[in-house]
Amino acid sequence: MSSQRDTFLVIGGSGFLGRHIVEALVARGDPVAVFDIVQRYHDTPFYSGDISDQAQVSDALRKSGASCIIHTASPTAGLQDPALYWKVNVDGTRAVIAAAQENRIPKLVYTSSAGVVFNGQDLIDVDERIPLPEKPLDAYNESKAKAEELVIAANGVDGVLTVALRPAGIFGPGDRQVVPGFAKVLKEGRSHFQIGDNTNLFDWTYVGNVAYAHILAADKLVPQPPSTPEHVTEAFETALPT
Ligand code: NAD
């Protein structure tokens, strides 16, 4: 854990995952504010804004006094709107990075998605070393991959340390996409189709665990102390009793 407590700005903090991150931070006593285009809760400081507007993000960073950004904002998956995905996920994430650099925010944690490496084929026992597919699955995943690339490339630039996490499917209280989507399919009687031979597997993670992973990532995102110069190490070793 970092020696100094952070003040957090959770971007997308009105959303499913963002809200769980906010609640977990509040539970451990950390100062936290939310930046989002919609306000759903009224128990933490709230900054209304769109991440594609750098000035709005910068303003919220200054007013909240944040030292760590957790950026979970995105349009939901599955929309037929590539331009919106590009505007929010790519241009918006670029604006978040620029605002972080402008305000010398030490830490930026970004929620990417496991979908960035999925091209429709089975993925078994893979980890983050697997390359991105040549052809992205769809506009949502393409924009998430590009945003992730921007976040990783920004690591260490202008005093900002960055990390990106790739959750797969997230489930739990407050979910507005997955389980409601399943229920809608059932309700509309659209359940007579089967893909594969009924042995398909998919990774799911409980939302509380995904939230916890973000907080652990934030806690671990601390600058390494400068390495000890060689001559000091040598002098120390010489002074050691044999
Ligand atoms: P969500 O829709 O519940 O929350 C997203 C939040 O972002 C919303 O509150 C929304 O208002 C906000 N937002 C959208 N556009 C914005 C903008 N331009 N400016 C500011 N705020 C904006 O979604 P979620 O399920 O909580 O997903 C959170 C993150 O996790 C997303 O980045 C998503 O890509 C990623 N993710 C989700 C899943 C999943 O199964 N839900 C899986 C993998 C990755």
CATH code, domain carrying 64: 3.40.50.720
| ipTM for the complex shown | 0.99
Under 8 Å CB-to-CB from 104, ≥6 apart: which residues?
158, 159, 160
> How do residues 120-175 score in pLDDT, each as one tens digit?
888 988 999 999 999 999 999 999 999 999 999 999 999 999 999 999 999 999 99
Distance of CA 183 to the CA centre of its chain: 27
Question: 9, 10, 16: which to mutate for ligand 1, most atoms within 8 A of CB?
Answer: 16
Q: Helices 139-153 and 93-102: crossing angle, nearest 10°?
A: 20
Residue 224: inside a domain: yes
* 51: containing domain: 8-239
- Helix boundaries (H) for the chain: 16-27, 54-64, 82-85, 93-102, 139-153, 178-187, 207-220, 230-239
Gap from CA of 71 to ligand 1 centroid (Å): 9
Does residue 165 fall inside a structural domain? yes
> Is 176 within the bounds of a domain?
yes
List Cα–Cα distances, 115 to 68, 106, 173, in angstroms. Answer: 25, 28, 22
